Structure 1
Amino acid sequence: MTYTLTYFPIRGRAEHARLLLEDNKIPYNSQVVQFGDEWNSFKKKGLESGELPFGQVPVLHDDKLHLAQSGAIARYLARKHNKYGADDVEKALNDMMFDMGIDIQNMYVKFIFDENHKQKKEEFVKDVKGKFDLVEKFMKRQGKPYLASSEPTFADYLMFEVLDVIKRQKDDILKDFSHLESFYNKMKSRPNIVAYRESDRFFEKPVPVEDS
């Protein structure tokens, strides 16, 4: 059965799952729910039916499974499609790097939803560079083309998405992080990701607020 991924018409918390599916040519249907009245009605029905277990999205539907929480979705897809890591050590490291990606994503979300975020951009850039420095040092120690593996895993799709969104704030933010910048460029140039990002399936807007 083909997956259905339910989310809003933004990148948000679902984009890393979309990237994993698109890059590996895994068939899926994208169910897009508009903000406002449509979402309110959809949420009510989903809570009643169990198709929205926690009344939030993203949700991945796989036959009778209705899976909420973006991390659970990522790990489920990774396990099913061999995108978790080559062995237990790699899997543990990819879990670690996925959680680091979530930490950085949460920093961005807190920043961008602040009504005074334009005045706080310099502070945000400084703080997020501190996280980038930790990832850079990890990648240097690992010596792998991706975060912890020789091929992209669920952690790489999240980290790439987080970096891509943050680069909208400062395009050259990775210039002092050679391993991280190389990783970003490698992910961005993957043919299936290029094709996806040029298609009408891709949402340019990362969040439902102004992010410039």
Structure 2
Amino acid sequence: MSGKPKLHYVNGRGRMEPIRWLLATAGVEFEESFLEKKEDLTKLQKDGSLLFQQVPMVEIDGMKLVQTRAILNYIAMKYNLYGKDMKERALIDMYVEGMFDLNELLIMYELQPAEKKDEYFANMMDKAENRYFPVFEKVLKDHGKDFLVGNQLSRADVQLLEIILMVEEWKPDILPKFPLLQRFKARLSNIPTIKKFLQPGSQRKAPSNDDDVDKVIKIFFS
């Protein structure tokens, strides 16, 4: 073993992407083992690597961690991205749970039947623009700092930036209504480790195409 965390998932965003973001932000190099076919998932299930028979799974510090939130919590604690006390962690958890709700909408869009995609997309964008983004604009305004919680970078900031960039891929003109989120995006994108992760050739994954979606369906749903 190289000592680097090893990530087991498909070669796409999904529920692993926030984990990639957090490791990259912490400056941690990681390896990836991609599921290319159903048999790759079955092998992990049969050899006991997946506690609940599903990925993401991350090998780190001698453990095989599953469940996205548990993995993110561990990485955040390990690399000082989880606030300075219990109150800050409670706020981080609260904000992140809202982000997970929105992120799940974004992830599931590609898996919608063709005849339902337009309706789903409209609902997804409506919730991003009128439910979630206004909340985080207000949080930044009320807090009056560069970050969502306390005065240092946390996992909540990292996940919010990831979601902002994803939503912008679908609706590039969404941010002018949210000037504090615009400035937040600019600040966070210039943090050296994040700036590096945003460059071409990094382990950040591109938006899914039809071939990617077909592969996911065959691996997880066939």
Q: TM-score, normalised by structure 2?
A: 0.83
Equivalenced residues, count? 206
In the alignment, residue 23 of structure 2 is paired with which amino acid? L
SS at match of 1:6: strand
Determine the structure 1 residue equivalent to 2:150: 149
CA distance in 1 between counterparts of 2:205 and 2:88 reads: 31
Contiguous gaps of at least 5 residues in structure 1 = none
User: Which residue matches 1:203?
Assistant: 205
Once the two structures are TM-superposed, the CA of residue 200 in structure 1 deviates from its matched residue by: 4.4
Given that 2:14 and 2:107 are in contact with CA atoms closer than 8 Å, whether structure 1 keeps it comes out as no
- Identity in percent: 26
Equivalent in the alignment of 1:42: 40
SS where residue 151 of structure 1 aligns? coil
Counterpart CA distance in 2 for 1:177 and 1:81 is 30
Q: Where does residue 21 of structure 1 map in the other structure? A: 23
Give the letter aligned to residue 171 of structure 1: P
Indicate if the aligned counterparts of 2:6 and 2:31 stay in contact, CA closer than 8 A.
Answer: yes
Q: What's the CA shift for 1:70?
A: 1.2
Q: Which residue of 1 aligns with 2:34?
A: 32
Residue in structure 1 matched with residue 189 of structure 2 by the alignment: 188
RMSD of Structure 2 on Structure 1 (CA): 2.1
Deviations along 1:109-145, whole A, 9 cap, x unmatched?
3444322323553443222212211221122111221
Query: What residue in structure 1 maps to residue 70 of structure 2?
Result: 72
Secondary structure of 2:207's aligned partner: coil
SS in 2 for 1:83: coil
- Shift in CA distance, 118/47, structure 1 to aligned 2, threshold 3 Å: same
1:58 maps to which residue?
56
- Is 1:92 matched with 2:93? no
Q: Deviations for 1:154-199, whole angstroms, at most 9, x for unmatched residues?
A: 2222221122111111012121112222222222222222222322
Counterpart CA distance in 2 for 1:63 and 1:120 is 40
Instruction: Tell me by how many angstroms 1:151 deviates.
Output: 2.4
| Partner amino acid, structure 1, of 2:26 | N
**Residue 50 of structure 1 contacts residue 66 of structure 1 at CA under 8 Å; is this kept in 2?**
no
SS at match of 2:175: coil
Match of 1:170 in 2: 171
The separation in 1 between residues aligned to 2:89 and 2:120, in whole angstroms, is: 36
How far apart, in 2, do the equivalents of 1:179 and 1:139 lie? 7
Tell me how far apart the structure 1 counterparts of residues 186 and 150 of structure 2 sit (CA, whole Å).
Answer: 16
Counterpart Cα distance in 2 of 1:75 and 1:206: 26
Amino acid at match of 1:80: K
